[in-house]
Amino acid sequence: MRNQKDLEVRRAPLLARIRGLERQRDAAQKRTTQLAELAVFESFRELDWRPILAEIERLECERRQLEEGSDILRTLQQQLGAIDAALNETEEQLKSETGGQARLQERLKQARELARECDLLMAGANPAAFPQVEAMSADALGEHALTVESCDNRERQMREWLQARIDAEDKRVRALDERIVKAMQVYRSKYPLETQETDASVDAVGEFRAMLGRLLADDLPRFEQQFKNLLNENTIREIANFQSQLQRERETIRERIEIINRSLRGIDYNPGRYILLEASPNADPEIRDFIASLRACTEGSLSESDEANYSEEKFVQVKLIIERFRGREGSGELDRRWTAKVTDVRQWFTFSASERWREDDREFEHYADSGGKSGGQKEKLAYTVLAASLAYQFGLEGDTPRTRSFRFVIIDEAFGRGSDESARYGLELFGRLDLQLLIVTPLQKIHIIEPYISGVGFVHNEDGRISMLRNLTIEEYRAERAARAG
């Protein structure tokens, strides 16, 4: 560090000396250049300007003396000055006229070019539009004197005025198009069936105009009263018939449940107790709302006059139901599921089973499902539901005389894994409902089934190749079994 400081101290005066030498060098170069410039002159006389200046002053003094001493020369000089001034003025005028002539020639050339362009435009123009343009020019340009030079400006003004008017008209047309399309959309949403093949666009104006023409030609207001009568006499009546049909089906279900319950009452589900099937109204909101909608459509339609029955509100109620039956746009699958649900009267009920004491009909237990029940309870409940379903399907009633109705049931692998008590209960129940059974079961359950059957068919399969069937009446089976046992 110390050596560096010493070097810095020694370096400073050296730098100052270098800068001084550079200034001396620059001054010497400048002086050398000046001396080189003076070297082109051979003597000082060529550079001395004072003798020339003195000669000029002498000559000027002599000229002034001559002018002041001679009137003729003074007059000539004045005339010469006037002539020079007139000459200058004439030259300036000539220049001005020459420039004006050039400008006129240029304007003439431009005018000819414009004339040719106008001729071309006129050749492709529609003469019928000239009166209309002429009429609009007063509004666009006002009172003016048209010249060749002002044509371009006037054309621009006219074009700008026309463009502004066109833009305003385009804006008004676009607003009108939007109003038309919006009205079309509202009409399509209100009448989807009539407009399902028509778009809501200005291009479809012809189709909407054709629909309007048909409506005007049909004169629909003239048929308004007839429409009201038809609505009451047909539409609402059909809705009422539809509602009555659903009500009949509901009552049929209740009646069949009652018939089944009469059969179930004669069978002990458990000692001293029997099973009673119950059908409660379904609390599903869709089903509840559908039933209420049907009721609202037909309220008062059978007691009041036609005029009182008809109302726009009732028509809308019927229309909403029919639209959902048909399937609304965008909700077709949802509406199909809804229709299948609400028109299936079985869905109107929630079914359950009540086990009751026979002596006083008090409820012992209520079965909404088989959850939490033992295996035997589940089997007996399953047999009860199965037998009730078959009796309902065949329309059977255990207390009525046997008829030649179809009541044949095949049960495969029946009673094979269940308890003996559950099997006996099922067979008693099937017999009580007067069902004709074909039971396919292994031999280990034959002792349970035997008291309830009238015939036996033994199937034997030798080495798994050919199956053979042997049919026996129950009496033949018992006799052969006794013989084998003896």
pLDDT digits (tens, 9 = 90+) for 414-473: 666 667 777 787 787 777 777 788 888 777 777 778 888 888 888 888 777 788 888 888
Cα 238 to Cα 298: distance, rounded to the nearest angstrom: 10
Domain membership flag for residue 430? yes
Other CB atoms within 10 Å distance of the CB of residue 364 = 13
Q: Are residues 325 and 312 in the same domain?
A: yes
Q: How far is CA 161 from the centre of its chain?
A: 41
Other CB atoms within 10 Å distance of the CB of residue 313 = 8
Domain membership flag for residue 199? no
Cα 137 to Cα 155: distance, rounded to the nearest angstrom: 10
Domain membership flag for residue 277? yes
Residue partners of 110: CB distance under 8 A and separation at least 6: none
- Helices (runs of H) and strands (runs of E) counted in the chain: 16, 7
Q: What is the pLDDT of residues 409-425, one digit of tens each?
A: 887 776 666 677 777 87
Measured CA to CA in angstroms, residue 205 lies from 181, 188, 217, 300 at distances of 9, 13, 18, 43
Cα 354 to Cα 274: distance, rounded to the nearest angstrom: 8
Q: Looking at the whole model, is its pTM more than 0.75?
A: no
Domain membership flag for residue 98? no
Which class for 273: exposed (0-12), middle (13-18), buried (19 or more C-beta within 10 A)? Answer: middle
Cα 210 to Cα 214: distance, rounded to the nearest angstrom: 6
Domain span at residue 299 reads 219-367
Cα 258 to Cα 395: distance, rounded to the nearest angstrom: 12
The more confidently predicted of residues 330 and 136 is 330
Q: Are residues 440 and 328 in the same domain?
A: no
Q: What is the pLDDT of residues 311-324, one digit of tens each?
A: 667 777 888 888 88
User: Which H/E stretch holds residue 472?
Assistant: strand 466-473
Cβ–Cβ under 8 Å, residues 303 and 297: no
Q: Are residues 354 and 395 in the same domain?
A: no
Cα 157 to Cα 160: distance, rounded to the nearest angstrom: 5
Q: Are residues 428 and 342 in the same domain?
A: no
Tell me 360's DSSP state. T
Q: 18, 35, 52: which is the final residue of a domain?
A: 52
Domain membership flag for residue 210? no
Cβ–Cβ under 8 Å, residues 459 and 468: yes
Q: Are residues 345 and 229 in the same domain?
A: yes
Residue 1 banded pLDDT, cuts 50, 70, 90: low
Alpha helices, DSSP H, located in 70-150: 71-124, 130-141
Distance between first and last Cα of the chain: 137
Least confident span in 107-116, 262-271, 348-357: 262-271
458: three-class secondary structure by DSSP: strand
Q: Are residues 235 and 342 in the same domain?
A: yes
Cα 452 to Cα 437: distance, rounded to the nearest angstrom: 10
Other CB atoms within 10 Å distance of the CB of residue 396 = 23
pLDDT at 78: 79
Q: 367, 388, 403: which is the final residue of a domain?
A: 367
Q: Are residues 353 and 385 in the same domain?
A: no
Domain membership flag for residue 321? yes
Q: Are residues 344 and 430 in the same domain?
A: no
Question: If you compute the radius of gyration of the chain from its CA atoms, what whole number of angstroms results?
Answer: 62
Cβ–Cβ under 8 Å, residues 296 and 320: no
Domain total of the chain = 3
Q: Are residues 320 and 379 in the same domain?
A: no
Average pLDDT, the chain: 78
475: three-class secondary structure by DSSP: helix
Structure tokens, 426: 């099922």
Cα 424 to Cα 426: distance, rounded to the nearest angstrom: 5
328: three-class secondary structure by DSSP: coil
Cα 118 to Cα 135: distance, rounded to the nearest angstrom: 20
Domain membership flag for residue 195? no
pLDDT at 302: 46
DSSP secondary structure, 149-197, as one string: TTHHHHHHHHHHHHHHHHHHHHHHHHHHHHHHHHHHHHHHHHSTTTTTT
Q: What is the pLDDT of residues 5-48, one digit of tens each?
A: 777 778 888 888 888 888 888 888 888 887 777 777 677 676 67
Structure tokens, 473: 């009446």
245-250-255 Cα angle (round to 5) = 120
Q: Are residues 376 and 354 in the same domain?
A: no
Q: What is the pLDDT of residues 36-88, one digit of tens each?
A: 777 776 776 766 777 788 888 888 887 777 767 666 767 777 788 888 888 88
Q: Are residues 416 and 359 in the same domain?
A: no
Q: Are residues 249 and 343 in the same domain?
A: yes
Domain membership flag for residue 462? no
